Structure 1
Amino acid sequence: MQQNNGLDKSQIISFMLFTIIMVGAMIYFQSKTQKEDALKQKEVAKTEQVSANNTKIASVENVNPNINAASIQTVPLQNEQLKLEVSTLGAQISNVELPEYKAYDAKRDESDLPLLLIHKNSANYGFEFKDKTGKIIKTKDLVFTPSVKGNVVTMTHQLNGAVIQFVYTLMPKYTVDFKIRTKGLSQITSDNAAKFAWNYNVRNLEKGRSQEQTHSEFSYAFNNYKDYDYDGNKAMDEPDETLNWIGVKQQFFSSVIEAKNGFTQSKGSQVTVDEGEYLKTLEFSGNVAMNGAELNQDFTWYFMPLDLPLLKEYNKNFDEILPLGWSFIGALNRWFFMPMYNLIAGWGIAAGWVIFLMTVVVKLILSPVMFKQHKLSAMMRVIRPEIDEVNEKYKDGDAMKKQQETMAVYRKAGVNQMAGCLPAVLQVPIFYALFRFFPNFIDLRGKSFWFAKDLTAYDDLIKLPFHVPLLGEHLSVFAIACTAVILIYTILTAGNMQQPTAPGMPNMKVLMYIFPVTFLFFLNTSASGLSWYYFVSNAINIIIILVIKYLILDEKKIHAQIQSNKEKPAKKEGKFGKRMREMMETAQAQQAAQKGNTKNINKKK
């Protein structure tokens, strides 16, 4: 799978010439097509006497070889948020554009293409039922006759004396009301349910193919909109649930159909597409009831951006489509990171500096525990000679005794090793929350900062002439910078780590140095906003360490105090320290008893 291609000079020149020719051809043919369409619009206005508010009915590409292309038309519907086309073939929505947004153009490395969720029959749907002879009738293969009145399109088909009508009403914002009405269908079929079949090819709209593929999946609600589930990597199968709505989710947008009476016996499958215009192919089928063998059902289509306030407005559990994380992780994004970003962004500053200030705010909130961690790290460096003395004294002796003496050194220095665990524990949910936040927060989509054109995708300022496994064909500058500061931070803190003395134990220092390098592979294809956040975060960590070392912590004074403490009676132990010491002493006694028993057995032999 390839995402970006490095181009040499000759390729760039060839590409520019090709682009000029193609753009010129597109302008020429577009102009020619517009003139032809204008003539067709006048003819339609004369023959069908549509109102002046209605736009043209244009011919479209034929998708069924058995149907005459000339008989297929599309009827447009439009408001400020949606531009739709309804095809007379199958009476289905065949084109969906969100004019307020733009899609990514990989050739130009710009987000300037029309954002089309559905285009050129990339999705199709319809209802299936059997006639009384057993023949399967599929509405998506039938040609309907259109009737337009304002923002309402009625598609009608005469089927052996029966009438099938699909009625579409464009509602405000991103909503399309969809009704099916039949009359006389009971003379053709005796079925009590029709199958709704929906095939959807997910179009590549964002930069970063693999990331967008990961975020493309089924999403659906059931149990009267209360429960939500999704399927991203496997076939979905819900034989026992009645789905209130089923949607195809992409990284920042979603196409959803709601069934007022629900879908039953729902099944779905998905196949990943390695290259080309499409990312995934998803297929869904579910049954809808036919009362008295008539298909009279109400549905609603939603073609919407995954904007949290908008999703909440519908009150249909749509906000769960946005993958912000489970439980505490999701709450952290919904109630902390998103509001904080919106608040700071309201000051009118660039998105990159908003992230910078967010990092500072998080550091300030965590400053009490983070300060203790960094101070503990510095103190560990101070008592390193004392620890080395203990290791040298007991290098060939009792390991349990060595551990007791080591803990005594920590106690005299006032170092609580367990205090260093809390900041690490706090960082885990924050990291995972931000991992979900940056590639899914639509307010960041398309926001540039320095050489990153989109903070929700990787930056590819450095293009490679070949494909590198796990890295791709680029190097992210933000990812490299983040890796560098993590490595510097590791060097400053790894010196405090006690090396294993037992044979076969891994060298933890080496593992700590390897970690930042492996982090590069992870960040290189991740959102550049995430890399920028952790670059700032670790840079602040480095500054804190240096300030503590050179301005706050007097290492000579601490070392002198430790030496003085050696001559003083031991301080009263805390409950935790006492418990640990007692456990060690018990273990030491058991070990000694075991050795004694072994010697006695050997003597008897």
Structure 2
Amino acid sequence: MQQNNGLDKNQLISFGVLSLLLIGFMLYFQNRQASTEQENIANQAKKTEQTTAAKANAATELNANVTPNAIQKVNLKNDELSLEFSSLGGQVSSVRLNQYNAYDGKNKNKPLYLFSNKNAEYGFEFKDKAGKIVNTKDLVFTPSVAGNTVTLTSQLSGATIQFIYTLSPKYTLDFKVRTQGLANLTSDKNATFKWNYNVRESEKGRAQEQTHTEFTYAFDNYKAYDYDARSEMDETKETLNWIGVKQQFFAAVIEAQHGFTQSKGYQDNIETGEYLKKFNYDGQVAFTGGEFNQDFAWYFMPLDLPLLKSYNKNFDEILPLGWSFIGSLNRHVFMPMYNLISSWGIAAGWAIFIMTIIVKLILSPVMYKQHKLSAMMKVIRPEIDEVNKKYKDADPMKKQQETMAVYRKAGVNQLAGCLPALVQVPLFYALFRFFPNMIDLRGKSFWFAEDLTAYDDLIKLPFSIPFLGDHLSIFALACTIVILIYTMMTAGNMQQPQQEGMPNMKVLMYIFPVTFLFFLNTSASGLSWYYFVSNAINIIIILVIKYVILDEKKIHAQIQENKQKAPKPEGRFQKRMREMMEQAQEQQKQQQKNKK
């Protein structure tokens, strides 16, 4: 039989022609698909224009005394907010937070708008007695301004609808709805508040901000709070005191004096462009005696913890600092610690540096025990290897029992090494929540990082790598290198599995820092800086313990002395583990006997 060593000349030519044909077909159908998508976009735009025109005509029919040409814009302003109101729908059409800027790679003073360019619209919807749907966002109102109050009035088939907005200090806009004669127009007992909102990107790091953008709401008389990042929100069984849409550092919230019922919502990601997500919300508000007289309040606010707590409406829960102990750790430890250090007038990056050192000092007794245990494990490694060699072909249970006996005689408690890891898990998660949500760090630069709440991208790639992006964060790279060095210094003390099929823990330990790079590359640079400093301190601690504090010869002598003494009585956990292993060993022997 002739062996096929590869493709001959004719096969290569055939393969090349086939490849060219396939590429040609792909380009042809790709162009066809692009043309079809452009036609669909044009048709959709045409339909949108027709729908808008139909709504305008409907609004003109319902409100014949005022024409669409009479649409006006009026403004209110205080130190915190600049607001614009439109006579079309009587809505807040523009909201700017005066003391904050949005992220822009070129313009560092780009104004930060929550509402603008028709990205948000809202109104109250009900049916007239003929069954025709009326939505106040389609009506034309007449505005009047008196001091810090804007009153917008619309006439609808003999009924009068008024929206009264009053700009209060700081970030609050009181909103009252008053009607006269509405009972003659509708038999409905409720109106549906409809709010459509396309959230605009305002931070560096689209993926991170998109993750933090979601529905947020309170119920049970402001006592209970929840958030919803799912596509569909369904809270028909609760009366919501307020409903809002939060971003990474800002939120737009509307509060109803008597609450929203039958609440439903929808949200979906917008993958490209200036908007992050689109939101739709429906909730019912009740009429009183056939009239719509309800009090509301809009809040357009930064997610600053002291500010949120000052409202006493459970707004502070909007800030995602973590649940239960994690949230308490951030609220009562890390945030006050950072605020205290930063009040000394030092740069934000150095404040994080000092905070890291303080945390390490607090954890130093635990860390010392961990590294001392590591040193002791290294000293008794030859004896562990001897046990593994002696019982190489023995039952795994027997080998494990003998290994535990060596540890017990040497006075080494393996469980003591788990404590530092368990202590650091909540700290890790708390800081993971702290850095991307601490508004005091927003826009604070440090070295090559423009914003400590976002990634640094000094190294830009000409292409995008899946899960990594189109850049390399220097802080993330530095942190990864330090973790690798730390791993190399500690992996030597790890006992390798002797059983077949068991994973090599050393390999897994080296893989972890690499995967950490993918995680940190798009995370807050403040978080990467913290972990860099933390692991650098860990390396210093190991070197100090190894060369200054601990003497391996003394440890070895102490272990030999412990072995000569009567073994310490077993602890409850050790006794339970030994009994379980003995029981498992007996069961294994019985099974082998039954097979024979």
The normalised TM-score by structure 2 is: 0.87
Q: How many residues align?
A: 536
Q: Counterpart of 2:375 in structure 1: which amino acid?
A: A
Q: Counterpart of 1:571 in structure 2: which amino acid?
A: P
What is aligned with 2:152?
155
Q: Secondary structure at the match of 1:438?
A: helix
Q: Could you tell me whether the CA contact under 8 Å between 2:411 and 2:559 is conserved in 1? A: no
- Structure 2 residue 525 is matched with structure 1 residue 533: no
Gap change, CA 1:561 and 1:229, over 3 Å in 2? closer
TM-aligned CA deviation for residue 289 of structure 1: 0.8
Gap change, CA 1:444 and 1:62, over 3 Å in 2? farther
Alpha-carbon distance in structure 2 between the residues aligned to 1:281 and 1:370: 47
TM-aligned CA deviation for residue 396 of structure 1: 1.4
TM-aligned CA deviation for residue 409 of structure 1: 2.2
Q: Secondary structure at the match of 1:348?
A: coil
1:190 to 162, 172, 187: 187
1:188-337 equivalences in 2 (<5 Å): 188-337=185-334
- Structure 2 residue 553 is matched with structure 1 residue 556: yes
Q: Secondary structure at the match of 1:153?
A: strand
Q: Could you tell me whether the CA contact under 8 Å between 1:413 and 1:558 is conserved in 2? A: no
Alpha-carbon distance in structure 2 between the residues aligned to 1:580 and 1:171: 66
Alpha-carbon distance in structure 1 between the residues aligned to 2:188 and 2:68: 31
Q: Which moved more, 1:208-217 or 1:582-591?
A: 582-591
Q: Counterpart of 1:89 in structure 2: which amino acid?
A: L
- Structure 2 residue 335 is matched with structure 1 residue 338: yes
What is aligned with 1:571?
567
- Structure 2 residue 92 is matched with structure 1 residue 93: yes
Gap change, CA 1:117 and 1:64, over 3 Å in 2? farther
Q: Could you tell me whether the CA contact under 8 Å between 1:378 and 1:545 is conserved in 2? A: no
Alpha-carbon distance in structure 1 between the residues aligned to 2:78 and 2:91: 18
Q: Could you tell me whether the CA contact under 8 Å between 1:222 and 1:244 is conserved in 2? A: yes
Alpha-carbon distance in structure 2 between the residues aligned to 1:581 and 1:435: 39
Alpha-carbon distance in structure 2 between the residues aligned to 1:98 and 1:586: 68
- Structure 2 residue 399 is matched with structure 1 residue 392: no
Alpha-carbon distance in structure 2 between the residues aligned to 1:425 and 1:62: 62
Q: Which moved more, 1:147-156 or 1:570-579?
A: 570-579
Q: Could you tell me whether the CA contact under 8 Å between 2:68 and 2:140 is conserved in 1? A: no
Gap change, CA 1:414 and 1:457, over 3 Å in 2? same
- Structure 2 residue 440 is matched with structure 1 residue 443: yes
Alpha-carbon distance in structure 2 between the residues aligned to 1:219 and 1:541: 39
- Structure 2 residue runs of 5 or longer lacking an equivalent are 1-51, 61-66
Alpha-carbon distance in structure 2 between the residues aligned to 1:550 and 1:94: 67
What is aligned with 1:43?
none
TM-aligned CA deviation for residue 578 of structure 1: 4.5
Q: Secondary structure at the match of 2:103?
A: strand
- Structure 1 residue runs of 5 or longer lacking an equivalent are 1-60
TM-aligned CA deviation for residue 571 of structure 1: 2.7
Gap change, CA 1:549 and 1:287, over 3 Å in 2? same
Q: Counterpart of 2:334 in structure 1: which amino acid?
A: F
Gap change, CA 1:172 and 1:509, over 3 Å in 2? same
What is aligned with 1:81?
80
Q: Could you tell me whether the CA contact under 8 Å between 1:103 and 1:113 is conserved in 2? A: yes
- Structure 2 residue 102 is matched with structure 1 residue 103: yes
TM-aligned CA deviation for residue 575 of structure 1: 2.3
What is aligned with 1:179?
176
Alpha-carbon distance in structure 2 between the residues aligned to 1:146 and 1:420: 70
Q: Could you tell me whether the CA contact under 8 Å between 2:308 and 2:316 is conserved in 1? A: yes
What is aligned with 1:475?
472
Gap change, CA 1:289 and 1:584, over 3 Å in 2? closer
Q: Counterpart of 2:89 in structure 1: which amino acid?
A: G
Q: Which moved more, 1:294-303 or 1:400-409?
A: 400-409
TM-aligned CA deviation for residue 271 of structure 1: 1.2
- Structure 2 residue 368 is matched with structure 1 residue 379: no
Alpha-carbon distance in structure 2 between the residues aligned to 1:246 and 1:472: 34
Alpha-carbon distance in structure 2 between the residues aligned to 1:303 and 1:565: 67
Alpha-carbon distance in structure 2 between the residues aligned to 1:169 and 1:63: 32
What is aligned with 2:25?
none
Q: Could you tell me whether the CA contact under 8 Å between 1:248 and 1:254 is conserved in 2? A: yes
Gap change, CA 1:62 and 1:278, over 3 Å in 2? farther
Q: Which moved more, 1:110-119 or 1:436-445?
A: 110-119
What is aligned with 2:519?
522
- Structure 2 residue 128 is matched with structure 1 residue 131: yes
Q: Counterpart of 2:439 in structure 1: which amino acid?
A: I
RMSD, aligned α-carbons: 1.9
What is aligned with 1:113?
110
Q: Could you tell me whether the CA contact under 8 Å between 2:250 and 2:301 is conserved in 1? A: yes
- Structure 2 residue 508 is matched with structure 1 residue 496: no
Q: Could you tell me whether the CA contact under 8 Å between 2:142 and 2:154 is conserved in 1? A: yes
- Spell out, residue by residue over 1:57-77, the C-alpha distance to the aligned partner (whole angstroms, 9 max, x if none): xxxx99976576642111010
Alpha-carbon distance in structure 1 between the residues aligned to 2:433 and 2:398: 47
Alpha-carbon distance in structure 2 between the residues aligned to 1:571 and 1:111: 69
- Spell out, residue by residue over 1:190-210, the C-alpha distance to the aligned partner (whole angstroms, 9 max, x if none): 111111100011000000001
Gap change, CA 1:578 and 1:184, over 3 Å in 2? closer
- Spell out, residue by residue over 1:288-337, the C-alpha distance to the aligned partner (whole angstroms, 9 max, x if none): 11122211111011000011111111111111111111111111111111
TM-aligned CA deviation for residue 522 of structure 1: 0.5
TM-aligned CA deviation for residue 407 of structure 1: 1.8
Gap change, CA 1:579 and 1:289, over 3 Å in 2? closer
Q: Which moved more, 1:568-577 or 1:94-103?
A: 568-577
What is aligned with 1:39?
none
Q: Which moved more, 1:400-409 or 1:465-474?
A: 400-409
Gap change, CA 1:269 and 1:590, over 3 Å in 2? closer
Q: Secondary structure at the match of 2:109?
A: strand
What is aligned with 1:48?
none
TM-aligned CA deviation for residue 489 of structure 1: 1.0
What is aligned with 1:32?
none
Alpha-carbon distance in structure 1 between the residues aligned to 2:416 and 2:566: 21
What is aligned with 2:35?
none
Alpha-carbon distance in structure 2 between the residues aligned to 1:395 and 1:410: 18
Q: Could you tell me whether the CA contact under 8 Å between 1:167 and 1:180 is conserved in 2? A: yes
Gap change, CA 1:417 and 1:156, over 3 Å in 2? same
TM-aligned CA deviation for residue 367 of structure 1: 1.1
Q: Counterpart of 2:297 in structure 1: which amino acid?
A: T
Gap change, CA 1:585 and 1:297, over 3 Å in 2? closer
TM-aligned CA deviation for residue 581 of structure 1: 4.0
TM-aligned CA deviation for residue 384 of structure 1: 1.3
1:465 to 459, 462, 466: 462
TM-aligned CA deviation for residue 213 of structure 1: 0.5
Q: Secondary structure at the match of 1:105?
A: coil
TM-aligned CA deviation for residue 582 of structure 1: 4.6
What is aligned with 1:5?
none
Alpha-carbon distance in structure 2 between the residues aligned to 1:160 and 1:304: 37
Alpha-carbon distance in structure 1 between the residues aligned to 2:208 and 2:219: 28
Alpha-carbon distance in structure 2 between the residues aligned to 1:63 and 1:316: 41
- Structure 2 residue 163 is matched with structure 1 residue 166: yes
Q: Counterpart of 1:88 in structure 2: which amino acid?
A: S
What is aligned with 1:415?
412
TM-aligned CA deviation for residue 592 of structure 1: 4.6
Gap change, CA 1:265 and 1:591, over 3 Å in 2? closer
Q: Could you tell me whether the CA contact under 8 Å between 1:249 and 1:255 is conserved in 2? A: yes
- Spell out, residue by residue over 1:353-410, the C-alpha distance to the aligned partner (whole angstroms, 9 max, x if none): 1111111111111111111001111211121111111111111123233222222322
What is aligned with 1:542?
539
- Spell out, residue by residue over 1:241-289, the C-alpha distance to the aligned partner (whole angstroms, 9 max, x if none): 1111100111100001100011111110011100101000000011111
Q: Could you tell me whether the CA contact under 8 Å between 1:81 and 1:98 is conserved in 2? A: yes
Q: Which moved more, 1:268-277 or 1:398-407?
A: 398-407
